[in-house]
């Protein structure tokens, strides 16, 4: 079958990275393994319209991914396709996994896959192929209520032709991650993408790759959207990761690799084994980074030293807040001294560090937010990343705001966290205060002599000068205007 997988166009109001979508890369890989002809249409880097694309490729099935700010663009994409071409349209990803009916109610969406997608996607493809053997091609017939094609297909919310929405039970998470094929990077035009951290690194985007060595996270921090990956943490074996790592370095020419796991160091022994394998197999010359925070309580000097020998260049920690009480309320299950020690360990061996911080958590006051800024300054990472607290549906913070607070946004496209605008108010925490402290965080952190001198001393800063100037302008000047794309999308007609 011909299979189209689509990443709807969505640019953040900041100058961020554009990297191949790993979820689509996995879905494409399992489809190729099934024997399908697959095209990934990444609207972020494509020039032609999606309508032109489907008319040329004539896919038997289309899959569209959607996180929260992307979901309206996913609906527009589905509509644009259905207007010119008939095929079943399937949505998946973090947003639709939490609110599947919302998307399934749209006339141009047939099926929503909730959670991890590979098995459900292949199941849908198999059922479609079997159906097409005896029938002329028609989505109407395929989704007809009398056919009951999906009645026992787990992990799906779907709509039959009588307008009924069916919510099937969840699908069991993939137990054997080693059984998955490698993400289909060969289907992306790699030269169109940036590297993993373009604000700091000067690596060719076509030589920068992501890898996922584990899925899920056993924690449930109140602000974190954990809709796709279940609470059960599962990992690939070090030997299996090594094979993909070697492929990225030797076949794809990787010059940097980013580990995308939610919690990569949950099982320390596994990471140690991977590090030994990278060293033994002489793959440690290619620098790699932890793109997401690793657990500070499991980042001993011994572990970090070994990882550095294996090529680790930069490590990130989810610090979130500088206030002890707020830290307890967000269920991070770590304390400040542990975080201090993790940074000390990383710095002792010259690893670069990133701290992820949040401004505007429930219960915050001017004092607690100031403590967050002060704690970032104390830790002094090369990147202090302050996010505006954005309550995503499905999180505990979303429920708290719904019950006790007031949302200041009612458009999914505004669910981004670098927009300088407060997303909600709760008790005495006003939007004005949060926005003031958010701007203060960046100014107070970055407009100090040490970060400025540190940046000026790095070669990559000068290579990335135009981008760095743009980022500085956006960060330090208040943003009143919506981005050009938002305006354009609004002009094209909101759904």
Enumerate binding residues for ligand B12 (CB under 6 A). 10, 12, 16-17, 19, 21-23, 26-27, 63-65, 67-70, 90, 92-95, 113, 116-118, 120-121, 212, 224-226, 228-229, 260, 262, 292, 392, 416-418
Contact call for residues 29 and 186 (beta carbons, < 8 A): no
Q: Which does 67 bind (CB under 5 to 8 A by kind): ligand SF4, ligand B12, none?
A: ligand B12
CB of 26 to ligand B12, least distance (A): 5
Beta carbon nearer to ligand B12, 224 or 286: 224
Distances (CA, A) of 139 to 26, 204, 290, 372: 25, 42, 43, 53
Assign 166 to helix, strand or coil: strand
Contact call for residues 233 and 279 (beta carbons, < 8 A): no
Spell 101-115 as b/e; 16+ CB within 10 A means b: ebbbebebbbbbbbb
* CA 112/CA 63 separation, integer angstroms: 9
Assign 383 to helix, strand or coil: strand
- Length of the chain, please? 495
Q: Which does 156 bind (CB under 5 to 8 A by kind): ligand SF4, ligand B12, none?
A: none
Q: Is residue 318 a contact point for ligand SF4 (CB under 6 A)?
A: yes
If we measure between CA atoms, which residue out of 233, 202, 206 comes closest to residue 217?
233
CB of 263 to ligand SF4, least distance (A): 5
CB of 215 to ligand B12, least distance (A): 7
Distances (CA, A) of 60 to 26, 57, 96, 129, 463: 19, 9, 22, 9, 45
CB of 62 to ligand B12, least distance (A): 8
CB of 206 to ligand SF4, least distance (A): 29
Q: Is residue 221 a contact point for ligand SF4 (CB under 6 A)?
A: yes
CB of 378 to ligand B12, least distance (A): 25
Q: Which does 343 bind (CB under 5 to 8 A by kind): ligand SF4, ligand B12, none?
A: none
Beta carbon nearer to ligand SF4, 260 or 434: 260
Strand pairing report for 208-211 and 165-167? unpaired
Q: Which does 230 bind (CB under 5 to 8 A by kind): ligand SF4, ligand B12, none?
A: none
If we measure between CA atoms, which residue out of 325, 324, 304, 328 comes closest to residue 316?
304
Distances (CA, A) of 331 to 324, 334, 354, 364, 376: 11, 8, 21, 15, 20
Instruction: Show the CA angle centred on residue 428, arms to residues 329 and 400, nearest 5°.
Output: 45
CB of 318 to ligand SF4, least distance (A): 5
Tokens of 384: 């202090």
Q: Which does 221 bind (CB under 5 to 8 A by kind): ligand SF4, ligand B12, none?
A: ligand SF4
CB of 8 to ligand SF4, least distance (A): 24
Tokens of 119: 């098995």
Q: Which does 153 bind (CB under 5 to 8 A by kind): ligand SF4, ligand B12, none?
A: none
CB of 486 to ligand B12, least distance (A): 12
Site string for ligand SF4, 224-243 (x = CB under 6 A): x-x-----------------
CB of 223 to ligand SF4, least distance (A): 7
Q: Which does 318 bind (CB under 5 to 8 A by kind): ligand B12, ligand SF4, none?
A: ligand SF4
Beta carbon nearer to ligand B12, 17 or 340: 17
- The greatest distance separating any two alpha carbons of the chain, rounded to the nearest whole angstrom, comes to 72
Write down the H helix ranges in 358-464: 366-379, 396-404, 431-446, 449-457, 459-463
Contact call for residues 76 and 103 (beta carbons, < 8 A): no
Beta carbon nearer to ligand B12, 190 or 306: 190
Q: Which does 220 bind (CB under 5 to 8 A by kind): ligand SF4, ligand B12, none?
A: ligand SF4
Beta carbon nearer to ligand SF4, 8 or 93: 93
Q: Which does 16 bind (CB under 5 to 8 A by kind): ligand B12, ligand SF4, none?
A: ligand B12
* CA 65/CA 126 separation, integer angstroms: 20
Site string for ligand SF4, 325-364 (x = CB under 6 A): ----------------------------------------
Interacting residues toward ligand SF4 by CB under 6 A: 217, 219-221, 224, 226, 262-263, 293, 318
């Amino acid at each position: 079958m011909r299979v189209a997988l689509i990443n709807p166009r969505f640019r953040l109001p900041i100058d961020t990275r554009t990297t191949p979508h790993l979820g689509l890369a996995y879905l494409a890989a399992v489809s190729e393994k099934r024997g399908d002809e697959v095209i990934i249409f990444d609207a972020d880097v494509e020039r032609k319209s999606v309508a032109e694309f489907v008319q040329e490729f004539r896919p038997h099935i289309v899959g569209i991914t959607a996180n929260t700010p992307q979901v309206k663009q996913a609906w527009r994409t589905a509509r644009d396709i259905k207007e010119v071409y008939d095929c079943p349209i399937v949505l998946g990803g973090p947003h639709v996994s939490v609110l599947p009916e919302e998307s399934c109610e749209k006339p141009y969406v047939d099926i929503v896959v909730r959670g991890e997608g590979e098995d459900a996607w292949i199941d849908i493809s198999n059922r479609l192929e079997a159906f097409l053997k005896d029938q002329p091609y028609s989505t109407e017939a395929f989704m007809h209520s009398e056919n009951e094609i999906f009645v026992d297909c787990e992990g799906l919310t779907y709509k039959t032709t009588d307008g009924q929405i069916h919510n099937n039970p969840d699908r069991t998470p993939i137990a054997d991650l080693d059984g998955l094929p490698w993400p289909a990077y060969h289907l992306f035009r790699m030269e169109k993408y940036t590297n993993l951290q373009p604000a700091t690194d000067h690596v060719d985007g076509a030589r920068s790759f992501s890898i996922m060595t584990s899925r899920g996270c056993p924690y449930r921090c109140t602000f974190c959207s954990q809709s796709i990956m279940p609470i059960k943490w599962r990992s690939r074996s070090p030997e299996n990761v090594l094979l993909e790592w070697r492929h990225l370095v030797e076949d794809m020419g990787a010059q940097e690799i980013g580990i995308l796991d939610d919690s990569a160091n949950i099982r320390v022994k596994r990471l140690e084994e991977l590090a030994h394998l990278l060293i033994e197999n002489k793959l440690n010359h290619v620098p790699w980074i932890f793109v997401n925070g690793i657990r500070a309580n499991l980042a001993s000097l011994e572990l970090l030293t070994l990882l550095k020998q294996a090529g680790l260049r930069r490590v990130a920690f989810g610090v979130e807040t500088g206030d002890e009480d707020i830290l307890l309320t967000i269920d991070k299950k770590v304390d400040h001294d542990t975080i201090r020690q993790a940074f000390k360990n990383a710095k002792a061996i010259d690893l670069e560090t990133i701290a992820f911080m949040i401004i505007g958590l429930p219960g915050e006051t001017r004092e607690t937010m100031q403590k967050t800024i002060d704690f970032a300054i104390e830790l002094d990472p090369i990147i202090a990343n302050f996010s505006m607290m954005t309550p995503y549906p499905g999180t505990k913070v979303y429920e708290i705001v719904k019950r006790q607070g007031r949302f200041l946004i009612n458009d999914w496209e505004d669910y981004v966290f670098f927009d300088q605008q407060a997303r909600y108010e709760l008790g005495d925490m006003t939007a004005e205060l949060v926005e003031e402290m958010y701007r203060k965080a960046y100014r107070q952190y970055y407009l100090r002599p040490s970060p400025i001198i540190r940046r000026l001393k790095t070669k990559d800063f000068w290579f990335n000068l135009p981008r760095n100037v743009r980022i500085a302008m956006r960060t330090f000047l208040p943003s009143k205007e919506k981005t050009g794309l938002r305006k354009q999308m609004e002009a094209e007609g909101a759904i």
